[in-house]
A and B are shown apart, each in its own frame.
Chain A
Amino acid sequence: MTKKALAILLATLTLLSAAPSADEKHISVYSPVAIYTLPVLDRDGQEYVGLLELLEPLGRVSSESQGRRWRLRYNAIDAEFVAGKTRGRIHGRDFDFTAPFLIEDSRGLVPLSSLSALLPRFLGTPVNFRESARRLFVGDVGIQISFQLDASNPPRLALNFSAPVNPAISTEPGRLRMVFKRDPVVSPGSQSISFDNKVITHASYSENNGDAELDVAANQSLMASFSNDRKTIMISTIMVSATPSGVGTGPQNPAQAPPAANMASSNVNVNVNVHRILAVVDPAHGGDERGAALTDMLAEKNVTLGFARLLRHELEIRGFAVALLRDGDSSLTLDQRAAAANGARAGIYISLHAASQGSGARVYTALLPVEGTSKGIFHAWNAAQAPALPVSRIVSAAIVAEMQKRAFPVRASSASLRPLNNVFMPAVAVELAPGADGIADLISANYQQRAASAIADAVVSVRDRLGVQP
């Protein structure tokens, strides 16, 4: 028993020591056949990488260590190096390293600074090694970026990539950060790109430790969504609040963005305190994730998108600022959806679904799991909804009441449905389900219009309860 526990402990320690940490130096290699990262070792003030590990994903490779000599065969190319020497032989010709070749535990280590000259001797193709950023491009694999700013109000910035990308995206007030860990994104030409726009002001590109990073700066909160098979990232601003113009305005919530330039709504009286609350509308599913197959041809993702656009219109004419989490056939993970809504500090989150089972509509609030105790000001991710749940239920009841007025069979319930658990503002999910005989209704503009109008009226009726963040 003790031996078993010891073995598990050792295995765990081995795994932990093998896991890359954020501080660990590494090199990213991008090639047409593989994209991978390798650890970089510091030896005598030089950076080294294992040559066998570097070549292994690119072709057939073997190595042999005999004392101070280390032989390597890559495809049909033989090479021999000697530990401590700067000169080796590759395919019968001498090669000079910039620092001595090293052998550690039978592994041959080569200095990073020699890779630009060394690798073409094995690969037969040119490589582009950005040593300061430790990013190695084999062949023509770079992904180009272009920027397209739509300066309308609110402005939108489209980042167009020459191939699909999958960056880690994070937001903070006035900044959206994209880190490309596995995408061979290359510099757009300039490290800093300025836009002739007062809201989205500039973007900056940087590379470090094998990663590329693109930051977009604005004087409002930003959110990003994917489209065009992940070849386009659309960055848009989120207007959180608008002109508390007139007299007697209370203290402004520092989390809220500056006043919006345009409030095109006849419902808004500018002579009183009016806050334009942000409603985040989330058309569920998208991209490869089709959701329920409502018919052989009709996927849930398409119904939810059309319905979301109608709801956006209905909410906007009632004075809400609205952000759709996707406005095309793009895919977002549940965590990305929650992060976008939380980052925008929305006043309400509405997730839209469609189904063929049951009859009528259902309005869901979160069914919170067991875990998820909050620690002080920090909310557990899986129970971030807990403080807002009472207001969510009020919103749900209001939607049920408004839909019943319009003769929708509807009921409220709870569901373990992400990302409802993960958003900290009032949140509901609405599932339209006119029944097996009424599937045609789902794509009927009249049906969707009535449902959207009911939801929007309900949200207006509880407007005073929204916008208060924990």
Chain B
Amino acid sequence: MIPRHLLIGVAALLVLVVAMGIYLRHMRRQAGELESPAADALPVTPPASGPTETVTLYVADDAAGMLRPRSAQIPLPGGRQQRAEELLRALLRIYQQPGAAHPLAPAADIRSIYLVAPGAAVIDLNAAFADQHRSGILSEQLTVNSLVETLAVNVPGIQRVNILVEGKARDTLAGHADLSETFDVTTVEQAGGQ
């Protein structure tokens, strides 16, 4: 004979399990509604607002095989890190315009930039940036040089740059440009001037 209190306990647990299951289903449905498929494919960070500043962006030109300095007025936040991120996002917007001289994928984005002392920056790209990048030495190297030089010129003190993809080290950008090493800003600037 099973004691009564045990039966009541088991029944209560069963009711609790069913209730938790219903609640879990409800929560999952809510989470699904919040996620938009487009959110995965497009950058979500809006341009920063605030006073605009004049900056110099180093814009790649595939046909000429070089970087061209271009002045731009963009709103920049006060923080050094946020400023660096907005700079590179402004650069990306140029590459994502139709007919760009160095096109990048519409979904390419900067996930974050970490400024680590002394003089080192880490650029974290999203997966689409690298996965959808065109393969070729020139194209890939111009992208790297463009990011490094734009950052170094507008954020004083940066001497070395590392590039990650989705927070992880990656061998190459798209089969050619080596991302496993640290880029020396002076060396990249000299290479850009060749």
Contacts and interface: CB of A to CB of B under 8 A. Distances in A.
A146 B136 CA distance: 39
Interface stretch (B11-19, B122-130, B173-181): B173-181
Interface string B22-43: 0000000000000000000000
A358 B66 CA distance: 10
Contacts of A369: 178, 181-184
B112 to A, nearest CB: 21
Contacts of A291: 135, 175
Interface in A385-428: 411-418, 421
A353 B138 CA distance: 11
A358 B63 CA distance: 4
Interface string B125-158: 0000000001111110100100000000000000
A362 interface: yes
A357 B194 contact: no
Contacts of A177: none
A355 interface: yes
A431 interface: yes
Contacts of A421: 178, 181
B65 interface: yes
A370 B178 contact: no
Contact of B137 (A368, A371, A412, A417): A417
B74 interface: no
Most interface-central of B138, B176, B191 (chain A CB within 10 A): B176
5 contacts: A292-B134, A356-B134, A371-B182, A417-B178, A429-B137
Interface in A262-316: 285, 289, 291-293, 300
Interface residues of B, number: 29
A358 B62 contact: yes
Contacts of A357: 62, 134, 136, 138-139
A431 B183 contact: no
B48 to A, nearest CB: 30
In the A-B complex, the 5 residue pairs with the smallest Cβ-Cβ separation, listed nearest first, are A369-B181, A355-B136, A292-B135, A414-B191, A370-B182
Given A353-B176, A416-B144, A417-B178, A362 B138 contact: yes
A367 B180 CA distance: 13
A415 B140 CA distance: 9
Contacts of A353: 136-137, 176
A334 B171 CA distance: 10
Contacts of A418: 172, 178, 180
Nearest to A430: B137
Contact of A416 (B138, B175, B177): B177
A364 B181 CA distance: 18
A227 interface: no
A289 B137 contact: no
Contacts of B183: 369-370, 416
A359 B175 contact: no
B187 A289 contact: no
Q: Which residue, B136, B160, B182, B188, has most C-beta atoms of chain A within 10 A?
A: B136
A364 B65 contact: no
A32 B177 CA distance: 39
A411 B65 contact: yes
Contacts of A223: none
A433 interface: yes
A367 B182 CA distance: 11
Interface of A: 285, 289, 291-293, 300, 334, 353, 355-359, 362, 364, 367-371, 382, 411-418, 421, 429, 431, 433
A417 B182 CA distance: 13
A298 to B, nearest CB: 13
B135 A370 contact: no
A368 B187 CA distance: 8
Given A293-B135, A355-B139, A431-B138, A417 B187 contact: no
A363 to B, nearest CB: 10
B136 A359 contact: no
Given A358-B65, A358-B136, A416-B144, 5 more contacts: A289-B175, A382-B181, A413-B141, A414-B191, A416-B177
B138 A355 contact: yes
A284 to B, nearest CB: 8
Which of A356, A414, A421 lies at the interface centre, i.e. has the most chain B CB atoms within 10 A of its CB? A414
B181 A416 contact: yes
A421 B172 CA distance: 14
A355 B135 CA distance: 8
A334 B136 CA distance: 16
A371 B9 CA distance: 66
A410 B136 CA distance: 16
A158 to B, nearest CB: 29
B136 A431 contact: yes
A429 B176 CA distance: 11
A421 B182 CA distance: 13
Contacts of B138: 355, 357-358, 362, 413, 431, 433
A413 to B, nearest CB: 5
Given A292-B135, A358-B63, A362-B65, A413 B177 contact: no
Nearest to B179: A416
B18 to A, nearest CB: 32
